[in-house]
């Protein structure tokens, strides 16, 4: 795509939010990127405009049939003032995998990375600088036909919005308690589990609510067919270290192919730690916990990077992992990935992209 991005800067820059209290996903920068798709014309009119509300017809298809996809990644400010993105092309490749499942026309990943860099550069003063903070980046596509028939939309909007966000672990990393979900199902093979599409998240809210009520932070999903195999946790992929070997569920269509997951596997391979992608039953996990071979457990995702799991509750049985403390390997992965992201460690893998 050799499109030219039109840029209209805001005349009314907003005050920046209090840097000590950013939270997640609640403040937005001064600008946003928009591009439209029209059947027969393709993606057109890429532009950066002041951030603000957009008028939508109540009949807009996304409200009714959820034809939409999204991505999530972060920009980090290094101590020497550079701005780094972490593997942004992977997100733009993944959005096309999601697009294919949702019957949304593909985007040009290189052009979208360009758009993203241009936008982040314009709003770079919004990137927070304190340890662990970042600029959360949300590219998303929605179906925009004003039409109530159930069919693919003929028009779409691709947008990128930016949200300065606080540290995930303001008080230091602490392991979480996770509830193994016995009843609700997030996704099943043949469904949309591998795509980053709104419906998957809507479907997960109820189980999340019930887990919260029981005092757990998130749920661990089991497969939708046999309710036996471990899938993923909330917005994270999941890894277990059992007897020295790291195991993570294989990508069989029902879980999101996480970019932090892929990076974790690359690191483990690089370090010579045995890592296996396969089915892992909750029963096997329980037995490993009982016989003392379940050494570490953690989730991986853009938001937390690594989220150690200190306790799993399964049908009333509790598995306490590493005495509820973060494991050595989990810590090493966390330190390495965040070190590469914030520029303190050498990026041996070519994972970061500088915005200038």
Is 225 within 8 Å of 254 (Cβ atoms)? no
Q: Is 258 in the site for ligand PLP (CB under 6 A)?
A: yes
In the block, which residue shows the tokens 């598995």? 319
When the beta carbons of 300 and 341 are compared against ligand PLP, the nearer one is 300
Q: Is 72 in the site for ligand PLP (CB under 6 A)?
A: yes
Instruction: Give me the torsion for CA of 14, 19, 20, 25, rounded to 10°.
Output: 70
| Options 61, 84, 107, 259; binder of ligand PLP; rule CB under 6 A | 259
Q: Is 260 in the site for ligand PLP (CB under 6 A)?
A: yes
Site residues (CB under 6 A) for ligand PLP, limited to 9-38: none
Q: Provide the minimum distance between the beta carbon of 50 and a copy of itself in the complex, in angstroms, as a whole number.
A: 12
**Distances from the Cα of 286 to the Cα of 92, 253, 290, 291, 306, angstroms:** 37, 24, 6, 9, 22
Q: How many residues bind ligand PLP (CB under 6 A)?
A: 13
Q: Provide the minimum distance between the beta carbon of 347 and a copy of itself in the complex, in angstroms, as a whole number.
A: 27
Q: Any idea what the Cα angle at residue 122 is, between residues 118 and 125, rounded to 5°?
A: 135
When the beta carbons of 66 and 324 are compared against a copy of itself, the nearer one is 66
Q: What is the rounded radius of gyration, in angstroms, for the C-alpha atoms of the chain?
A: 21
| Options 163, 237, 248, 336; binder of ligand PLP; rule CB under 6 A | 237
Q: Provide the minimum distance between the beta carbon of 102 and a copy of itself in the complex, in angstroms, as a whole number.
A: 6
When the beta carbons of 137 and 247 are compared against a copy of itself, the nearer one is 137
In the block, which residue shows the tokens 């609700």? 184
- The backbone torsions φ and ψ at residue 166, rounded to the nearest 5 degrees and listed phi first, read -75, 175
Dihedral over Cα of 182, 199, 93, 53: its sign: negative
Closest CA to 265 of 229, 244, 233, 239: 239
Distance CA 183, CA 189 (A): 17
Tell me, residue by residue from 196 to 235, as one string, x for binding to ligand PLP by CB under 6 A and - for no binding.
------------------------------------x--x
Distance CA 134, CA 126 (A): 9
Q: Is 236 in the site for ligand PLP (CB under 6 A)?
A: yes
Site residues (CB under 6 A) for ligand PLP, limited to 272-301: 300-301
Residues that bind a copy of itself (CB under 8 A): 24-26, 28, 32, 51-59, 62-68, 70, 101-103, 136, 138, 140, 142, 146-152, 159, 161, 163, 183-192, 197-206, 208-209, 224-225, 227, 234-235
Q: Provide the minimum distance between the beta carbon of 67 and a copy of itself in the complex, in angstroms, as a whole number.
A: 5
Q: Any idea what the Cα angle at residue 173 is, between residues 272 and 203, rounded to 5°?
A: 90
Binding region for ligand PLP (CB under 6 A): 72, 232, 235-237, 256, 258-261, 300-302
């Amino acid at each position: 795509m050799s499109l030219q991005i039109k840029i209209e800067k805001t005349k009314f820059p907003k005050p920046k939010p209090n840097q000590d209290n950013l939270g997640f996903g609640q403040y937005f920068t001064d600008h946003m990127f928009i591009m439209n798709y029209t059947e027969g014309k393709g993606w057109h009119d890429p532009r950066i405009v002041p951030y603000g509300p957009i008028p939508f017809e109540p009949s807009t298809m996304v409200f009714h049939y959820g034809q939409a996809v999204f991505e999530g990644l972060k920009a980090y400010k290094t101590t020497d003032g550079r701005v780094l993105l972490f593997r942004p092309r992977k997100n733009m490749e993944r959005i096309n995998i999601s697009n294919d499942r949702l019957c949304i026309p593909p985007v040009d990943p290189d052009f979208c990375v360009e758009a993203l860099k241009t936008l982040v550069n314009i709003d770079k003063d919004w990137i927070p600088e304190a340890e662990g903070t970042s600029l959360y980046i949300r590219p998303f596509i929605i179906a925009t036909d004003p039409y109530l028939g159930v069919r693919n939309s003929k028009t779409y909007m691709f947008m990128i919005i930016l949200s300065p966000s606080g540290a995930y672990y303001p008080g230091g990393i602490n392991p979480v308690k996770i509830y193994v979900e016995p009843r609700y199902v997030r996704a099943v093979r043949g469904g949309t589990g591998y795509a980053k599409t709104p419906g998957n998240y809507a479907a997960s809210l109820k189980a999340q609510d019930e887990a919260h009520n029981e005092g757990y932070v998130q749920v661990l999903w089991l497969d939708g067919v046999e309710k036996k195999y471990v899938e993923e946790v909330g917005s994270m992929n999941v890894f277990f270290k059992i007897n020295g070997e790291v195991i993570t569920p294989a990508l069989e269509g029902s879980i999101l192919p996480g970019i932090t997951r892929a990076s974790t596997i690359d690191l483990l391979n690089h370090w010579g730690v045995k890592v296996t992608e396969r089915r892992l039953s909750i029963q096997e996990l329980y037995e490993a916990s009982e016989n003392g071979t379940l050494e570490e457990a953690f989730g991986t995702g853009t938001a937390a990077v690594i989220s150690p799991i200190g306790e799993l509750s399964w049908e009333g049985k509790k598995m306490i992992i590493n005495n509820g403390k973060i494991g050595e390997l989990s810590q090493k992965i966390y330190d390495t990935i965040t070190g590469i992201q914030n520029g303190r460690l050498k990026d041996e893998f070519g994972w970061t992209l500088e915005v200038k």
